[in-house]
Amino acid sequence: MLHEIDLARVDLNLLVLFEAVFEERHVGRAAERLHLSPSAVSHGVGRLRRALHDPVFLKHPKGVVPSARAAELGVPIADILARVRAVVGVALPFDPRHSTRRFAVGAPDAIATVVLPPVLAAVRREAPGIVVNVTEVEPAATLAALDARTVDVACYPLGELPPRFEARDLYEEDFVIAARAGHPLGKKPSLERYAAAQHVLVSPTGTTRGFMDDVLGGHGLQRRIALTVPSFLWALTVIADGDLVGTLPRTLVRMHGERFGVAAIEPPLPFGPARVRAVATRAAMTDAGVVWLMQILEREAPKARRAARVRQKSMLKLS
C-alpha cells in the first residue's frame, strides 16, 4: 500500500521536466523546450528535489549539471518516458507532417557531411516543422550517449552491439590517402613512401595513434604524426595548404575534396572497409518518431554515397 500511495503522489510531468533539464543542462533552454517559463521550471526542479531527497541539478557557470543521483536516474527515466510515449502514441500516432519535435543525431563530421544533405532534404519535404540537432560524440561514449538519450540516433562505424540496441546499415566506407593536388606521393603511392610522409591525424581527444599505425606496424613500418586536429573538415583544410597527408574516408574526399584542392590517392593496400550504421536503443525504438527518423536515414543515406561516386566519375571525365 505504501508504494501505491507514493506512486500516486508522483507527477509524471516532473519526469518530463527532469528529462529536459538533464538533456539541456540549462533551465532556460529546458523552459523553452517545454514551452514553460524559467521560473516554472525552477519550481519543478524544487519539487524534484523534495521528491527525490537530492539536489538533482547543481548550478554551473554554463547552466546546471546533474548530481550523482540524477546521473544514475538519467537512463531509467528516459526508458520510462519512452515507454509511456509509446503507449500514448497508440492513441496519438506520430505525424511528421505536423510534428514540431526536435531530434538529436550523433555523428562525426565525416559522416554528417555525407548523409545529412539528402536526409535534411527529405525532412524538409515530409516534416517541415521538425528540427534536427547534430552533435559529435566521442566514439567510445556513443552507446552511453544513446542510453542517456542525449542523442536519439547515432551514425557511426559500429560493429557488434549489445542486445539493447538496434541498428540499420547505411553504407560501406573505406579510406584513401588524402593529399593536396600534385603531391609527390600521388606519383608512386607505395606503403613505404606513405609511411615516410608527414601525417595529420583526426583525433578529437588529441591521441597520436590511429588504426593505420596498427596496419603499418604489421608491415614493420611506422609513420610520424606531425599534427592532430579535431575534425575531418579541418584535416582537409590543413592538407590543402601543405605537404601533410591524411587517411580519410573515401566518400568525404569524393564529396568535398575538390573544393579544398585535395585529391584522393588510392592506397597501396585496402584501408577498410567500415560499415556505417544508424543506431538507437530498443527503448527509443518504441517511439514512433525515432522509428521514422531511422527509416529516413536508412532510405536517404545511401543516396549520398551514390551521388559521391557519380561526382567522382564526372570529375575523372573532366580531368
Residue whose C-alpha cell reads 492513441 in the numeric block? 91
Q: Is the pLDDT of residue 302 over 90?
A: no
Output the pTM of the full model: 0.67
What's the CATH architecture for 2-91? Orthogonal Bundle (1.10)
Which CATH number is associated with domain 173-274?
A: 3.40.190.10
Q: Which of 150, 178, 147 is nearest to 161 (CA)?
A: 147
Provide mean pLDDT across the span 116-126.
92
More confident of the two residues 71 and 315: 71
C-alpha cell at 275: 560499415
- Residue range(s) in the chain whose domain bears CATH number 1.10.10.10: 2-91
Q: Name the range with the highest mean pLDDT among 60-64, 99-103, 303-307.
A: 60-64
Give the rounded distance of the alpha carbon of 146 from its chain centre.
10
Q: What is the pLDDT of residue 84?
A: 76
Q: Which amino acid is at 3?
A: H
In which band, very low, low, confident or very high, does the pLDDT at 318 lie, cut at 50, 70 and 90? very low
Q: Is the pLDDT of residue 206 over 50?
A: yes
Q: Is the pLDDT of residue 105 over 80?
A: yes
User: To which CATH superfamily is domain 102-170+276-318 assigned?
Assistant: Periplasmic binding protein-like II (3.40.190.10)
In which band, very low, low, confident or very high, does the pLDDT at 9 lie, cut at 50, 70 and 90? low
For residue 102, the surrounding DSSP H or E stretch is strand 102-106
For residue 31, the surrounding DSSP H or E stretch is helix 27-34
Query: Is residue 56 left, alpha or beta, with left meaning phi > 0 and alpha meaning psi from -120 to 50?
Result: left
- Residue range(s) in the chain whose domain bears CATH number 3.40.190.10: 102-170+276-318, 173-274
pLDDT tens track for 27-83 = 999 999 999 999 999 999 999 999 889 999 999 999 999 999 999 999 889 888 877
